Amino acid sequence: MSSKYEKQEELQSKQDDASLASSADVCSYLMSSPLLHPPAYLSPSLALRISQQAPLLLQGSSSSFTLPFLSSGESPERWTAYEHLLLSCLRIGDDKSARLCLEKLGDRFGATNERVMGLKGMYQEAVADDNAALERILKEYEAILVEDPTNMPIAKRRIAVLRSMSQIEAAISALVKLLDMSPTDAEAWSELSDLYLSQGLYRQAIFSLEEVLLITPNAWNIHARMGELIFISSNASASADDVDVEKSLIDSMRWFCRSIELCDDYLRGYYGLKLIYFQTSNRLLLSQKYKNTSASDISGPDGTAQPSLTTIQRLNQQATAKLSEIVRKSSTGDKAWDGYAQAEVIAARELLGRDEQFAER
Partner 1 sequence: MAQAVAQTIHRDPALFYWILFPITVVMILTGILRHYATVLMQSTPKKLDAKAIREQRCLLRGINLRTNASVLSPQSFQARKAYFISSYHSGKFLKEPENKGKPPPNPMTDPAGMEAMMGMMKGNMAMMIPQTLIMSWINAFFSGFIIMKLPFPLTIRFKSMLQSGVATQDLDVRWVSSLSWYFLNLFGLQSVFTFILGDDNAANQMAQQMAQVNPAAAANLFQPGQDPDKVFQSEAENLEVLEHEWILEGVEDRLLEDLA
Which residues in this chain contact partner 1 in the complex, by CB under 8 A?
A: 67-69, 73, 148-150, 180-184, 207, 210, 213-215, 217, 251, 253-255, 257-258, 260-261, 304-305, 307, 311-312, 314-315, 318
CB closer to partner 1, 101 vs 312: 312
Q: Which is nearer to partner 1, 99 or 254 (CB)?
A: 254
Closest approach, Cβ 94 to partner 1, in A, equals: 34
Helix (H) or strand (E) holding 305: strand 305-306
Selection from 9, 19, 23, 106 nearest residue 52 by Cα: 9
Is the Cβ of residue 59 or residue 184 nearer to partner 1 in the bound state? 184
Distance separating alpha carbons of residues 215 and 268, to the nearest angstrom: 21
From the CB of 194, what's the least distance to partner 1, in Å? 19
CB-nearer residue toward partner 1: 305 or 343: 305
Beta bridge partners of residue 299, listed in sequence order: 305
Q: In Å, what is the CA distance from 318 to each residue of 149, 270, 273, 308, 356? A: 51, 8, 9, 16, 15
What burial class does residue 41 get, using C-beta atoms within 10 Å of its C-beta: 0-12 exposed, 13-18 middle, 19+ buried?
Answer: exposed
Q: Which is nearer to partner 1, 281 or 311 (CB)?
A: 311
Using alpha carbons, list the distances in angstroms from residue 198 to 10, 94, 169, 172: 41, 31, 11, 11
Indicate the residue among 161 and 178 with the shorter CB distance to partner 1. Answer: 178
CB of 68 to partner 1, least distance (A): 4
Q: CB of residue 318 vs partner 1: minimum separation in angstroms? A: 5
Minimum gap (Å) between residue 224 Cβ and partner 1: 13
Smallest separation, CB 339 to partner 1 (Å):
20
Min dist. Cβ of residue 204 to partner 1 (A): 13
Smallest Cα–Cα separation from 202: which of 247, 232, 168? 232
**What's the min distance (Å) between Cβ of 293 and partner 1?**
16
Q: Is the distance from CB of 4 to CB of 338 less than 8 angstroms?
A: yes
Q: Who contacts 209 (Cβ-Cβ below 8 Å, separation ≥6)?
A: 189, 190, 193, 222, 225, 226, 229
Question: If phi over 0 gives left and psi between -120 and 50 gives alpha, with beta otherwise, what is residue 65?
Answer: beta
Phi/psi for 238 (5° steps) reads -65, -25
Specify the residue, 21 or 181, whose C-beta has the smaller distance to partner 1. Answer: 181
Q: In terms of CB distance, is 87 or 275 closer to partner 1?
A: 275
